[in-house]
């Protein structure tokens, strides 16, 4: 986690972002019969040098947000303002230049590194694409990047299969860093790794953030992981952010029943406290992003739901406390866990 810088600037400003995937029927004349509303109107900002943790269960739309921000997808609606420029509808050379500054590291280090290339060429590839330096400069920078991520430069001619999951994730990070990005989406960067190496990779990411003044969007399905790395946390449910707050405030005083339920499922090492805790078990599965429930989209599983919740979609608005936002008609009744 980075220190809050005095006079820091907003690097990323996401405004009412939507990413819908069309559902089609028919082989020749494909008719659109509906939409997967994977990201359904999301707004947040990230200050330069800070980390926003994005948490939610599988299928809530976390990866889609990441992929949309780095413009692997063109958003259906909304703005992605990066360093005062809107990337949402940008194209051509302008987009190519901005893409250098925003990178993504994927969850599965086994799938994201092409097995036919040496790790040296994988790390160097983005530098070749962006024409950064001569061949000898690129080679030198590749060796340097290997040591920056804690790998031996002599490994440069080895292939991905010769490395463990943790080492591969270090290679993926070195590749992302090779073109000096300012912002990185880390999509569940440690979820596929053994518990024993997770802390090392998290420490590396934090060291790199401080060293290069990087800004992160850290995606995870696990609130206990983001607690260690995020300055602020956004909780996602079915394509929307339902709560956003400073990390400590979110844990101490949640304002949304979904956050409360997620927090109640994190085990506490003290057996005395653990025995007294009330665990909130949510009924049912996450509804489909094709048929989103009416009113508050969480009402089908919410233990606090009332009639109004089935009819009126609660506004995502500022609640008491500094920069604490939530979308719930009864947020003042949500208790800490
Ligand atoms: N390319 C696509 N085409 C159609 N639907 C998609 C596409 N990508 C994602 N979806 C759907 O959008 C929703 C959100 O998916 P997404 O992968 O963003 O969720 P996630 O929060 O990252 O989940 P996980 O924790 O499993 O990685 C899901 O219903 C998914 O099936
Ligand atoms: S608005 Fe109603 S259903 Fe939605 S989270 Fe709040 S109490 Fe639950
Ligand atoms: Mg995902």
**Within-domain flag for 188:** no
Ligand 1 within 6 A of CB of 220: no
Distance 278 CA to ligand 1 centre (A): 31
CA 234 to centroid of ligand 3, rounded, Å? 15
Q: Is residue 291 part of a domain?
A: yes
12, 82 in Cβ contact below 8 A?
A: yes
The SS3 assignment for 234 reads: strand
Alpha carbon separation from 241 to 191, 259, 314 (Å, rounded): 21, 11, 12
Q: Looking at residue 304, what is its pLDDT?
A: 95
**Proximal ligand: closest to the CA of 330:** 2
Could you tell me the distance, in angstroms and rounded to a whole number, from the CA of residue 66 to the centre of ligand 3? 9
326 lines ligand 1 (CB under 6 A): no
Q: How many domains does the chain contain in total?
A: 1
pLDDT tens digits, the chain, 337 residues: what are they?
554 455 689 999 999 999 999 999 888 888 898 999 999 999 999 999 999 999 999 999 999 999 999 999 999 999 999 999 999 999 999 999 999 999 999 988 888 899 999 999 999 999 999 999 999 999 999 999 999 999 999 999 999 999 999 999 999 999 999 999 999 999 999 998 888 899 999 999 999 999 999 999 999 998 989 998 999 999 999 999 999 999 999 999 999 999 999 999 887 777 877 777 778 888 888 899 999 999 999 999 999 999 999 999 999 999 976 789 999 999 999 988 8
Ligand 2 atom 4: the closest Cα is on which residue?
Answer: 296
Round to whole Å and give the CA distance between 185 and 104. Answer: 5
**pLDDT confidence of residue 314:** 98
**Could you tell me whether strands 215-220 and 51-55 are parallel, antiparallel, or unpaired per DSSP bridges?**
parallel
Q: Please give the pLDDT value at position 1.
A: 53
CA of 305 to the centre of ligand 2 (A): 5
The per-residue pLDDT for 109 is 81
The burial class, CB within 10 Å (0-12 / 13-18 / 19+), for 311 is exposed
Spatial separation of the C-alpha atoms in residues 38 and 134, rounded to whole Å = 42
Tell me if 264 is assigned to some domain: yes
For residue 289, being part of any structural domain is answered with yes
- Residue 67: CB within 6 Å of ligand 1? no
Query: Could you tell me what percentage of the chain is helix, strand and coil, using 3-state DSSP and rounding each to the nearest 5?
Result: 35, 25, 40
Report how far apart the first and last C-alpha atoms of the chain are (Å, whole number). Answer: 24
* 265, part of any domain: yes
Q: What does the block give as tokens for 113?
A: 């590194």
**Does some domain include residue 55?**
no
At 278 the pLDDT is 79
What is the number of H-type helices and E-type strands within the chain?
A: 11, 12
Is residue 332 domain-resident? Answer: yes
Among 160, 167, 166, CA closest to 120: 160
Is residue 59 lining ligand 1, measured as CB closer than 6 Å? yes
| pLDDT score of 154 | 95
Question: How many A from CA of 329 to the centre of ligand 2?
Answer: 6
Task: Report how far ligand 3's centroid is from the alpha carbon of 58 (Å).
Answer: 7
What is the structure's pLDDT at 324?
95
Q: What is the pTM of this model?
A: 0.94
- Helix, strand or coil for residue 185? strand
Residue nearest to atom 17 of ligand 1 (CA): 63
Q: Is 296 in the pocket of ligand 2 (CB under 6 A)?
A: yes
pLDDT at site 7: 64
Range of the domain at 287: 259-337
Does the residue 315 lie in any domain?
yes
CB of 38 shorter than 6 A to ligand 1: yes
């Amino acid at each position: 986690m980075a220190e809050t810088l005095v006079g820091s600037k907003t690097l990323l400003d996401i405004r009412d972002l939507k990413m819908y995937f069309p559902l089609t029927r028919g082989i020749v004349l494909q008719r659109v019969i509906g939409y997967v509303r994977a990201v359904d109107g999301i707004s947040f900002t990230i200050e330069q040098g800070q980390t926003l943790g994005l948490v939610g269960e599988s299928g809530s739309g976390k990866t889609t947000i990441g992929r949309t921000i780095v413009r692997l997808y063109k958003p259906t609606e909304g703005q992605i303002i990066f360093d005062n420029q809107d990337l949402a509808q940008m194209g051509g050379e302008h987009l190519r230049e901005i893409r250098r500054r925003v990178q993504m590291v994927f969850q599965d280090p086994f799938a994201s590194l092409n097995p036919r290339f040496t790790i040296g060429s994988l790390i160097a590839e983005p530098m070749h694409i962006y024409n950064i330096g001569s061949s000898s400069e690129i080679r030198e920078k590749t060796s340097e990047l290997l040591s920056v991520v804690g790998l031996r430069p002599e490994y440069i001619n080895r292939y991905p299969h010769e490395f463990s999951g943790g080492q591969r994730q270090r290679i993926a990070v070195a590749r992302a860093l090779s073109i000096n990005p300012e912002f990185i989406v880390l999509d569940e960067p440690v979820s596929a790794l053994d518990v024993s190496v997770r802390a090392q990779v998290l420490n590396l990411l934090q060291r790199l953030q401080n060293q290069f003044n990087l800004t992160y969007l850290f995606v995870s399905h696990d609130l206990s992981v983001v607690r260690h790395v995020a300055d602020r946390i956004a909780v996602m449910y079915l394509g929307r952010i339902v709560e956003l707050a400073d990390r400590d405030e979110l844990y101490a005083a949640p304002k949304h029943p979904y956050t409360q339920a997620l927090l109640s499922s994190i085990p506490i090492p003290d057996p005395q406290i653990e025995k007294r805790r009330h665990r909130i078990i949510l009924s049912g599965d996450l509804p489909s992003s094709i048929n989103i429930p009416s009113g508050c989209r969480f009402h089908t599983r919410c233990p606090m739901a009332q009639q109004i919740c089935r009819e009126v979609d609660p506004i995502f608005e500022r609640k008491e406390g500094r920069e604490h936002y939530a979308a719930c008609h009864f947020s003042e009744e949500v208790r800490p866990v």
